[in-house]
A and B are shown apart, each in its own frame.
Chain A
Amino acid sequence: MRIKWGVILILVALLQSCTVLKEYEKVYVNDEEMLLVSRSLERFESNFQVYREAAAGGNGGKTGGGCGCN
């Protein structure tokens, strides 16, 4: 429970610090390494993690479909 409240507090603190960037100010956040998605090759790692672990999802990956039984 403490962890959950800690995460919420951190998020609120982060949102408080938000600034609005103009397009020309986004040179760093638009850098390819900054993209808020998994890399193409990570799909294969996500696949085997879905098979070998009970948890899945929460990162835009596949959450169902396919066998997952090997």
Chain B
Amino acid sequence: MKQQLAGMAEKLEAAAAVINMRKIRITLSVLWAFVGLIAWGQQSTTQPTPTYQKKVLEGIEIETLFSYYAQEGTHGAVGGGLGTEQLTDVTPTVVVNVPLNFNTVLTVETGLSAYSSASSSNINPFYSTLGGNNDDDKYDDDYDDKPSGTGRGWGSGTGAISAASTGVVNGVSTPIGTPWYASSGASRSDVLGYVSAAVAQSSEDRNQIVSANLYVSTEYDYTSLGVGLGLVKLFNEKNTELGIKGKAYFDKWMPIYPTELHEYGKYGNNFLNSGYFSGVPVWDINGIGTSGYKPSAFTEWSNANRNSYTMTLEFSQILSAKTQFSMSVDVVGQQGLLSTPYHRIYFADKPQYFIGDHTYINNYEQTSNYGVFRLADDVERLPNSRLKIPVGGRFHWYLNDLATLRTFYRYYFDNWGVDSQTASVELPLKLSSNWVFTPSFRWYEQSQADYFAPYGVHLSTERYYTSDYDLSGFTSKQIGFGLGYKDIFGQVDVLGFGLKTVDFRFQHYYRSDGLEAVIYGFGIKFVEK
């Protein structure tokens, strides 16, 4: 199977090169289809419509969504599989559905994802969380950014380190960092903004739906453009539904590298005497000053594009008056820069080098390391193509007027050696005609990717390597609940819109490598009266 997948991946790569050349044409075609659908929809508003026909959507719907996500873990990929994974993410989102005519609905969605990440902050770990900094760009590492004075950044003078608050020294100014705590470099936070628009056109008999969509997102070091087309057919008195969808994302990195590797790339072998590291003492494993650190395995990525192509087949079927199921198969091909440019790698067959307070070297792998950071040998290297195939199925059963059973199962495999299974179950309980309480449980397992090894285990002779625990073997459990309120008559009025639903969800996520997360979600929907 793996050989077949490898063969398919090679073909995919060749095909992707051709597709890449055609992507502008594809984008223009989808844009044309998108505009055409809107024009078609608007044109048909001028045509007489049978009075018996019901609109696909009766009025404008506005849904406001919000989520707060927080996680903690000890396998930060920026620290080469070691260090804090603390992260928070806030995502306000607005979704507006507009009926363009009896048959056509335009959906526009926009949102932000504002995150603060301790792990990402350690792209440059040599900034203080307590003191200020003079950072003036996202690289965190330009010479002119170098803070002066104290704080867990650059220190001066003599004396021992005081937890994470003052510089280390031994008579020499030196930056202080640790993989276990956040630094205050600019990469500690970022905002992803996105806009998407979709048009869905139903046929007069409602047995066919044609759709097109566009997606654009941007954050500091990454942009994404997505286009998609879909066709759904309903058969068998609408008891059977068959759909096919195609999506393509054209993404681009503006690669950011760990400080020490960025400086090596910028100044070459003399980088310890230039730029950010000029005059900074580097320690070996015994805490003795050295000038031997040279991450010669590191080269900057030449291709910063990442393209993803997805073909989806969907099938759903009513089984009985109270049961129905659906199946979905995706074939996802990705090519380009699939590695994350700032994930550090430490080789087992290379000497270790550190910056900071060398007295912490012996407990580098423990959270009591407040003041030393190991310099990277390279960034993660992953193949430039990947083929992913998930097959998912849902089965829903209306048990009685109080309870419904919602189940989901997915099997997934890819040509990086990952196999996974996902199973989830929800049991919505109708507390009244307005309130629904939904307890839920989700279980997940995956095998380790071929290219994964923990901190400091990879060898420099390997072609591909990553210490990102998202690609390790693990199981995870997610448990939570939702509480929904439905205003059947839209009695609450806001600017001509009636309240339709209010929803809240809470989920707790636990991964077997120790990562834990919680997520809160809140949504409120209004409909035009």
- Chain A residues near B (Cβ < 8 Å): 3-4, 7, 11, 14-15, 17-23, 25-26, 28-29, 31-36, 39-45, 47-49, 51-60, 63-67, 69-70
Q: Which residue of B lies closest to A31 (CB)?
A: B398
Q: Decide if the interface of chain A is mainly helix, strand, loop or mixed.
A: loop
Q: Once the chains bind, are A52 and B470 in contact (CB under 8 Å)?
A: yes
B436-A53 in contact (CB<8A): no
Known: A55-B420, A58-B392, A70-B120. A29 touches B318 (CB 8 A): yes
5 smallest A-B Cβ distances: which pairs? Answer: A64-B308, A58-B392, A58-B390, A65-B249, A55-B412
Chain A contacts of B523 at CB under 8 A? 40-41
Instruction: State whether A21 touches B420 (Cβ < 8 A).
Output: no
Measured between beta carbons, the chain A residues less than 8 angstroms from B98 are none
Q: A36-B396, A52-B517 are in contact. Are A66 and B410 (CB under 8 A)?
A: no
B463 CB to closest chain A CB (Å) equals: 19
What separation, in Å, do the CA atoms of A26 and B478 have in the docked complex?
32
B319 in contact (CB, < 8 A): yes
Q: Does the CB pair A36–B324 fall under 8 Å? A: yes
Tell me which residues across on chain B come within 8 A of A63, comparing CB atoms. 247, 308, 310, 330, 332, 388, 390
**Which chain B residues have a beta carbon within 8 Å of chain A's beta carbons?**
63, 65, 67, 69, 71, 87, 89, 91, 95, 113, 115, 117, 119-120, 192, 194, 215, 217, 219, 221-222, 224, 226, 236-239, 247, 249, 251, 308-310, 312, 314, 316-330, 332, 334, 340, 388, 390-394, 396, 398, 404, 406, 408, 410-412, 414, 416, 418, 420, 422, 428, 430, 436, 444, 446, 449, 470-471, 476, 478, 482, 486, 503, 505, 507, 509, 511, 515, 517, 519, 521-523, 525
Q: Are B420 and A53 in contact (CB under 8 A)?
A: yes
Cβ contacts A to B, 25 pairs, < 8 Å: A11-B393, A18-B239, A18-B317, A20-B237, A21-B237, A26-B321, A29-B323, A33-B406, A36-B394, A40-B523, A41-B65, A41-B521, A41-B522, A47-B91, A48-B71, A52-B71, A52-B515, A55-B412, A57-B388, A57-B412, A58-B329, A58-B412, A63-B308, A66-B192, A69-B340
Contact A70/B117 with A41-B505, A64-B247 known, Cβ cut-off 8 Å: yes
Closest to B422 in A: A55
Contact B95 A40 (CB under 8 A): yes
C-alpha spacing A55/B119, complex, angstroms = 22
CA distance A56 to B412 in the complex (A): 8
Supply 20 further A-B pairs (C-beta < 8 A) apart from A40-B95, A63-B390. A11-B327, A17-B320, A18-B320, A20-B239, A34-B398, A41-B505, A45-B478, A47-B91, A53-B470, A54-B412, A57-B330, A57-B412, A58-B330, A58-B392, A59-B390, A59-B394, A64-B309, A65-B224, A65-B308, A66-B222
CB proximity of A7 to chain B, nearest CB, Å: 8
Q: How far is the CA of A43 from the CA of B326 in the complex (A)?
A: 19
From the candidates A18, A31, A36, A45, name the one contacting B404 in the complex (CB within 8 A).
A31
Give A13 to B356 CA distance when docked, in angstroms: 65
CA distance A29 to B412 in the complex (A): 28
Contact status of A56 and B388, CB under 8 A, knowing A14-B319, A41-B67: yes
User: Using a Cβ cutoff of 8 Å, how many contacts connect chains A and B?
Assistant: 208
B316 contacts A36, CB within 8 Å? yes
Residues of A within 8 A of B420 (CB): 53-55
Known contacts A17-B319, A31-B404, A59 near B65 by CB under 8 Å: no
Report the separation of the CA atoms of residues A6 and B121 in the bound assembly, to the nearest whole angstrom.
47
Find out whether the CB atom of A44 lies under 8 angstroms from the CB atom of B470. no
Given A36-B394, A66-B217, A44-B334 contact (CB < 8 Å) = no
B-side contacts of A29, CB under 8 Å: 318, 321-324, 398
Q: Give Cα A26–Cα B53 distance, bound, in whole angstroms.
A: 19
Contact of B310 among A4, A35, A36, A57 (CB under 8 A): A57
A56 contact set on B, CB distance < 8 A:
332, 388, 390, 412
Q: A residues within 8 A CB of B525? A: 40
Is B408 touching A59 in the complex (CB atoms < 8 A)?
A: yes
* Nearest CB of chain A from residue B92's CB, rounded to whole Å: 11
Q: How far is the CA of A17 from the CA of B471 in the complex (A)?
A: 40
State in angstroms the CA–CA spacing of A41 and B517 once bound together.
16
Decide: B511 and A52 in contact? CB cutoff 8 A: yes
Q: Find out whether the CB atom of B517 lies under 8 angstroms from the CB atom of A48.
A: yes
Residue pair B503, A39 in contact (C-beta under 8 Å): yes
B322 touching A44, Cβ below 8 Å: no
* Nearest-Cβ distance from residue A1 to partner chain B, whole angstroms: 11
A3 CA / B411 CA spacing, docked (Å): 10
CB <8 Å contact, B414 and A54:
yes
**In the complex, what distance in Å separates the CA atom of A63 from the CA atom of B357?**
43
User: Are the C-beta atoms of B410 and A55 separated by less than 8 Å?
Assistant: yes
Q: Is A44 touching B404 in the complex (CB atoms < 8 A)?
A: no
Residues of B within 8 A of A21 (CB): 237, 239, 318, 321
| Cα distance, A45 to B320, chains bound together (Å) | 30
Q: What is the minimal beta-carbon distance from A29 to any residue of chain B, in angstroms?
A: 5
Q: How far is the CB of B528 from chain A (nearest CB, A)?
A: 18
Contact across chains for A40 and B519 when beta carbons are under 8 A apart: no
- Of B119, B217, B224, B408, the contact of A70 (CB 8 Å cutoff): B119
By the criterion CB–CB under 8 Å, are A57 and B398 in contact? no
Residue of A whose beta carbon sits closest to that of B416: A54
> In the complex, A39→B115 CA distance in Å?
23
Closest chain-B Cβ to A47's Cβ sits at a distance in Å of 8
With both beta carbons as reference points, the residue of chain A lying nearest to B517 in the complex is identified as A48
* Alpha-carbon gap, A42 to B327, bound state (A): 18
Q: Kindly identify which residue among B312, B330, B398 contacts A28, using a CB–CB cutoff of 8 Å.
A: B398
Bound Cα distance from A58 to B390, whole angstroms: 5
